[in-house]
Chains A and B, each alone.
Chain A
Amino acid sequence: MYQTSDIRKGLKVEFDGEPFICVDFQFVKPGKGNAFTRTRFKSMVTGRVLDKTLKSGESLHKADLEDRQMSYLYSDGTSYTFMDSENYEQIELSRDVLADSSKWLAENLEVNVLLHNGRAISIELPNFVEIEVTRCEPGVKGDTATGATKPATLSTGATINVPLFVDEGDILKIDTRTCDYVSRVRK
C-alpha cells in the first residue's frame, strides 16, 4: 500500500485491477480545508489517462509488477511465443500486447516482458536490434555520402528507409525508438 505522500512521477499503482503509472501530481490545500493530491495516471495496459483527486491519507494499491528477461522464439501470426531465459518457461503474447513492437522481433531477440499479476502486459525492446534485409533494390556501390534512401523489407516484415548501398542479405542495426537505420553490421 502507498499513501498519498508517497506519490511521485513514475509511481506504479493499481485501480480496479488495472496497473497505472503516475505522470503528474500536485499537492493542493485550500486555505482552511483538508489537503488533497491532484494526480494524473496513465494505464500501463491501454495508455488511457485517468485524473484523480485523492484526499490526503488515502491509500493506494501497489501494482504487482515483475520484469522478466525473455527471448523471442516464433510466431503463428496471431500469437508470439517467448521463453524465459532463466527457467525456460514459455509464454504466448497476443498481437494486442505487442502493438508496434512485433515488427522488430527477430528470432532469439532478448526483450524485457512486464508482467502484472503474472500476466504479460507489455514488452520492452532493446534500444538497438540487428535484423537481416530480405528485399530491396540492388545496392549502389560506393555511394555512402549522398544521403539518398530507398525502402528495404526486413526479415521481421518491417519496412524502413536505408541508404542506397544496402543489399539484400545485409544485417542492419536499427534504433527501435525512432525506427531509423543506424548502420550496416556485416554482410
Chain B
Amino acid sequence: MTTSNESTVTRFARVLRVDDHIIHVSTTTGVESCTPPSIDLACGDLVRIQGGAIIDWVRPNRATRPIEEQDWWRIHRVLPVLRQRTDLLHKLRQWFLEQDFLEVDTPILTAHPGLEVHLQPIQTRVCDQVRYLITSPEFHMKRLLSAGLERIYYLGKSFRDDEKGRHHHPEFTMLEWYRTDAEPSDLMSDVETIVALATGEQRQWVRISVHEALARWGTPTDDPDDIVRQLVEYVEPNLVELGAVFLTDYPASLASLARLNSDDPTTSARFEAYVDGVELANGFGELTDPVEQRERFEQDLNRRRALGLPVFPMDESFLDALGAGLPPCAGIALGIDRLIMLATNTDRIADVVCFPPDLA
C-alpha cells in the first residue's frame, strides 16, 4: 500500500469484540481497534472501515453455527499461517528453479493406484469408468524420468483413505521430487536445505538405521508388521529427543519401491526423515528393475487378497517405462502440511489448512 493514502482506503472487516468504548475488528492484516458508530454492532458483523473508524455496516452476521465453526472466525485465526504457507511455497518453487528442476503436473485421477497394502486409494467414477485418486504421483513421475526428464518435482494434493488424525488428513499437500543419477544421501541434503528454508534454522541431522534403532529401543526381528509396530511404539517416541533424524536402510520386507542395498540385500535404500518425532518425508533409491518391480506388485496383490482388501490392476504403462529403461534415480515425498506445522510450531494439520476434513 505505497500508492494510496492509508486514511482514504476502505476495507472490509469483521467485528470480533464489542466493548463499551471500542470495537475490535479482524482485517486481512490483523486485529484493529475502532471507535464504535451509533449503530448496535454484534460479534461477526461485516463492516467497512476507513482510517480506524467503522464507516458502514455491510451485513449483520445471521449465521447459525457456533462461532468457532464459522469460516471467517477460523480463517482469521489461520491467516498468519496461510501467509507463511504462501511464502514457503514460493521459496520452495524458487529453490527448485535454481536447482534446474521442472515442476510437473501429473494426474490426480488414475486407473492404476499404488498397490501397497497399507495405502488405501479413494475410488471414484469418471466418464463411467472406475478411477482412483492418487496416493502419490510416483508412477507418473517415474514414467517422466524414463522418458528423459532428469530433475522433476510435484507440489500438489495426494489422497489416502482411512487416514484421519492430528497428523493425517485424507487429502494432503505433498511435495515429491526426483533426481536421476542420485543417491539417497543427495535427497537427505535436499531435505536438510528444505527444512532450513521452512524453519529458518539449521539443524544437526542424525542418521540411524532401522536395525540400529530397533537394537537400541526395541528387539530386532524379521517380521515386517512387528518392525512397524516397534517403530511406532518404541522408536518414534525416542526420536523426539534426537531432533532431526534420518531413519535409514529399511529392511527388504519394507522396501516398498526402493531398490535393495547391493552391499546388504537384507536392507533397502529406503529412508524416512523425522523432525521432533514427526515423520516428514519418505525417500527411496528407486527400484529400476521391471522384473523385480512386477514381482513386488504381485506380492502386494497377494497380501491384499489374503487380507480381504480391494485389488487393483497393475500399472502396465509404469512397468513398460521401467522396461524401456529408468535411469538410476532417487525420489522422495515430503508432507507440506507437516512442514508448515513445524515452521509455525503447531501440532495439528487442522491448524495449518483453511478447511479441515470435517468442514470441507
Contacts and interface: CB of A to CB of B under 8 A. Distances in A.
B213 to A, nearest CB: 12
A33 B118 contact: yes
Contact of B163 (A32, A35, A53): A35
Interface string B228-255: 1101110010000000000000000010
Nearest to B233: A53
A31 B231 contact: no
B197 interface: no
Contact of B166 (A26, A33, A53): A26
Contact of A33 (B162, B164, B168, B254): B254
A40 interface: no
B225 A34 contact: yes
A103 interface: no
Contacts of A29: 118, 163, 165, 168
Given A29-B118, A32-B254, A33-B118, A38 B232 contact: yes
B214 to A, nearest CB: 13
Contact of A31 (B117, B162, B233, B272): B272
Contact of A32 (B116, B229, B236): B116
Given A26-B165, A27-B166, A27-B168, A32 B282 contact: yes
Contacts of B166: 26-27
Given A30-B232, A30-B272, A35 B118 contact: yes
B254 to A, nearest CB: 7
Contact of B119 (A26, A32, A56): A32
B256 A35 contact: no
A135 interface: no
B337 interface: no
Interface residues of B, number: 23
Contacts of B236: 28, 30
B119 A27 contact: no
Contacts of A38: 232
A46 B81 CA distance: 43
Nearest to B118: A34
Nearest to B247: A30
Nearest to B255: A32
Nearest to B234: A53
Interface in A6-40: 26-36, 38
Contacts of B228: 30, 33-34
A18 to B, nearest CB: 21
Interface string B208-234: 000000000000000001001101110
Interface in B118-169: 118-119, 162-168
B279 interface: yes
Interface of B: 116-119, 162-168, 225, 228-229, 231-233, 236, 254, 256, 272, 279, 282
